[in-house]
Amino acid sequence: MSRIFFYVVALLGLLGWGSCTNPNGYRVEQKFKLLVDDERCSVTFFYPVLKWDDGTINRELDFILENYVEYERYTRNCDAHSGAKNVIKGDFKVILATKNVLSIEFTEDVLSYGEREKHQIYHSIVLNPELLKTGQIAAFGRPEDLFPQFDRGRLYPFVQAYNEQHQRQINLRAYETGSNYVIMWGISATDLILYVGGEGEFHGDDRIFIPLDALGVRGPS
C-alpha cells in the first residue's frame, strides 16, 4: 500500500508541477501551410494557433491568424514571371505572451519574386488572450488601446532619428500626437516595436525598438 501511495503522490506532484508551467492558461502552437510548390512558384508559411488549457475554441481567431498575412496574393501572380522561380517563405515569432497580452510578429521572406531581390516584410498583431476566450476578436489596434493616455507623439523623435540615420522618408505624420494613421507595432517585455515603412498599409519594412521606459509606460503583465 505504501508503494502505491508513493506513486499516487508522485503523480499528483507531477500534474501540479505541469499546471504551474503555463500560468497564462494558453499556448501558441505552430502550423505549416503549403499553397504552391512547382517550377514557377513556391509559397509556404508557418502560422500561429492559440490553444487554451481549458479547451476554449475561437474559430474566427484561428481563421484570422492563418490568413493574417495575405500569401494568396503571391499565388495569383505565379504565371507573371520570367527567369528565377518565385519563392516566398513566411514565419512568425511570439514577442510577448502574458495572460492579457499576446504580441506576435509575422515575417515574409521574399527570396525571389520576378526581378525583386531578397528582402523581408513585417506584420504584427497584439491580442488580449483573456478576452479572446469569450469569443471576441480582442485586438489592440493601436498603442493607445493598450496604454491609456498614451501620447503617440512620443514616438515621433525616434522615427525622425531613424529617418536621419538611414536616409529614409518614413511618414512622420503617422507618429504625431492625435494621428489616426494605421501603424504596425508590437511589444516585448522591455520595448515597443515599430514596424515602419508601410504606414497605413498594414506592413513594415524595418523595425525600431523603443524602450518602454523612454515612453513612460510600464510593460504589460
Give the integer Cα–Cα distance in Å for 18 and 151. Answer: 41
Q: What is the pLDDT along the chain (221 residues), one digit of tens a residue?
A: 444 433 333 333 333 333 345 789 999 999 999 999 988 889 999 999 999 999 988 899 999 999 999 999 888 877 765 567 888 999 999 999 999 999 999 999 988 665 556 789 999 999 999 889 887 778 999 999 999 889 999 999 999 999 999 998 999 999 999 999 999 999 999 999 999 999 988 899 999 999 999 998 888 87
Contact criterion met (CB below 8 Å) for 208 and 170: no
Backbone angles phi, psi at 48, to 5 degrees: -90, 150
Give the integer Cα–Cα distance in Å for 215 and 52. Answer: 32
The 3-state DSSP class for residue 205 equals coil
Contact criterion met (CB below 8 Å) for 60 and 131: no
Give the integer Cα–Cα distance in Å for 194 and 210. Answer: 8
